[in-house]
Amino acid sequence: MPRLVMKFGGTSVADVQRIRNVAAHVKREIDAGAEVAVVVSAMAGVTNELVGWCKEAGSQFDTAEYDAVVASGELVTAGLLALVLKDIGLKARSWQGWQIPLLTDDVHGSARIAAIDGTRLIQGFKADEVAVIAGFQGVHKATDRVTTLGRGGSDTSAVALAAAISADRCDIYTDVDGVYTSDPRIVPKARRLDKVSFEEMLEMASLGAKVLQVRSVEVAMVNKVRLHVRSSFDDPARPRPGTLICDEEEIMEQEVVTGIAFSRDEAQITLREVADKPGVAAAIFMPLAEANINVDMIIQVVSDDTTTTDITFTVPAAEYARAMAILEALRAKIGYAKLHGAQDVVKISAIGVGMRSHSGVAARAFRALAEKGVNIRAITTSEIKFSMLIDEVYTELAVRTLHTLYGLDAKG
């Protein structure tokens, strides 16, 4: 008997009508003979509202109480779906994180899963009962407090549960029908991918393709949980296959580039005429690290006079002002001539495991962008991706150019 985890996000459970539609998807799988655990998010917009109330309520912000509040959204959906499932004649019960139990560490607001005991869920399957699980939440055993897994965390709940109960599949239902070669709002010729490897998906997720929480992909990769991203808006009687996220070996025909991602959430900082001597990079980046500012691309220019150099790097747009203030305050200590910043930049990335075995992949992009007159401010590369920082006004042009260049455009 196949065992399945089905996860439904906020837009898929936005109201009771949508929840009835979810129940129809569940019934289809039950009728086909599967044992099913369903993981649900809060109804669309509910978590944001709960977060807003927490901010309004507490000047003494307490993350444990924050978790107690924001975890409540999923409880409502789990109960409602169990009710609806019973209404259409299935056996079902709702599960809160602590009841399973799904144990986590005590980092409130972004807890990590420590262990899941699937015994009781499996007992329920033996009694033909659908398990309806509140995603996003767990419990820290020693303190006996409810925790949450970070925004978008019900994806991770679903994947970790699939691993814990040795599910044959984990289907992530969302409001799109799969993972695309790029954002269809920017690239009209973007197409749905049949298969993506875990590693590529990890890069795409962290580069701003917002279909899955990054951590859920990590958990899937480590535990080899095959994920299907598919649409809950499909007719429950005739769902489309969606995108399979799986091991690289399962993908026979590998394109060199699988997807083009972009992130507008970047800002560039440049320090001019920094002393070219040991310890300077540390003097710049240690204070930023201590302030929890995540630095991404880093470029140090090789100096010709060997006494000074220029250093450019990027930070998340939201941290730009803080980073600039820190560097300004440290001007004397670091010793630089000028501090520049730019916020109207975008990071464009091409991702594909095929890059490991092909040379010149990035070079073709540089030439194609040059031909369109797009200047590249910074470049970084890794084994299966390369990223370029460019002026934000060229986002669409650059993304579309690369999408065509690597043969990703939909036919016809």
CA distance 103 to 108: 13
Which of residues 124 and 135 has its CB atom nearest to ligand ASP in the complex?
Answer: 135
Which of residues 124 and 152 has its CB atom nearest to Mg ion in the complex?
Answer: 152
Query: Minimum Å distance from CB 351 to Mg ion?
Result: 20
The residues, any chain, with a CB within 8 Å of residue 43's CB and separated by 6 or more, are 10, 13, 14, 15, 73, 76, 77
Q: Is 96 in the site for ligand ASP (CB under 6 A)?
A: no
Tokens, residue 46: 């509910």
How many residues form the binding site for Mg ion (CB under 5 A)?
2
Q: Which stretch binds Mg ion (CB under 5 A): 147-155, 236-244, 306-314, 389-397?
A: 147-155
CA distance 8 to 42: 9
Q: Is 308 in the site for ligand ASP (CB under 6 A)?
A: no
Binding mask 1-40 for ligand ASP (x = CB under 6 A): --------xx------------------------------
Query: Minimum Å distance from CB 76 to ligand ASP?
Result: 11
For 115, other C-beta atoms within 10 Å of its C-beta total 12
Among 41, 174, 312, 395, indicate the residue that binds ligand ASP (CB under 6 A). 41
Pick what 151 binds: ligand ASP, Mg ion, none; C-beta below 5 to 8 Å, kind-dependent.
Answer: ligand ASP
Query: Minimum Å distance from CB 158 to Mg ion?
Result: 10
Among 118, 138, 153, 352, indicate the residue that binds ligand ASP (CB under 6 A). 153
Which of residues 36 and 42 has its CB atom nearest to ligand ASP in the complex?
Answer: 42
Query: Minimum Å distance from CB 216 to Mg ion?
Result: 9
Which of residues 71 and 221 has its CB atom nearest to ligand ASP in the complex?
Answer: 71
Q: Which stretch binds Mg ion (CB under 5 A): 32-40, 44-52, 149-157, 346-354?
A: 149-157
Evaluate the CA torsion angle 402, 407, 411, 412 in order and state its sign.
Answer: positive
Query: Minimum Å distance from CB 408 to Mg ion?
Result: 24
Q: Which stretch binds Mg ion (CB under 5 A): 94-102, 144-152, 191-199, 329-337?
A: 144-152
Q: Is 66 in the site for ligand ASP (CB under 6 A)?
A: no
Which of residues 163 and 212 has its CB atom nearest to ligand ASP in the complex?
Answer: 212
CA distance 329 to 145: 40
Which of 384, 379, 380 is CA-nearest to residue 357? 384
Query: Minimum Å distance from CB 42 to ligand ASP?
Result: 4
Among 47, 147, 174, 308, indicate the residue that binds ligand ASP (CB under 6 A). 47
Which of residues 147 and 156 has its CB atom nearest to Mg ion in the complex?
Answer: 156
Q: Is 135 in the site for Mg ion (CB under 5 A)?
A: no
Spatial contact of 129 and 82, defined as CB atoms under 8 Å apart = no
Binding mask 171-210 for ligand ASP (x = CB under 6 A): ----------------------------------------
Q: Which stretch binds ligand ASP (CB under 6 A): 147-155, 193-201, 227-235, 365-373?
A: 147-155
CA distance 360 to 351: 14
Which of residues 67 and 129 has its CB atom nearest to Mg ion in the complex?
Answer: 67
Pick what 193 binds: Mg ion, ligand ASP, none; C-beta below 5 to 8 Å, kind-dependent.
Answer: none
Which of residues 41 and 270 has its CB atom nearest to ligand ASP in the complex?
Answer: 41
Q: Which stretch binds Mg ion (CB under 5 A): 4-12, 176-184, 189-197, 321-329?
A: 4-12
Tokens 């991203």 sit at which residue? 229
Q: Is 401 in the site for ligand ASP (CB under 6 A)?
A: no
The site for ligand ASP (CB under 6 A) is made up of 9-10, 41-42, 47, 73, 135-136, 151-155
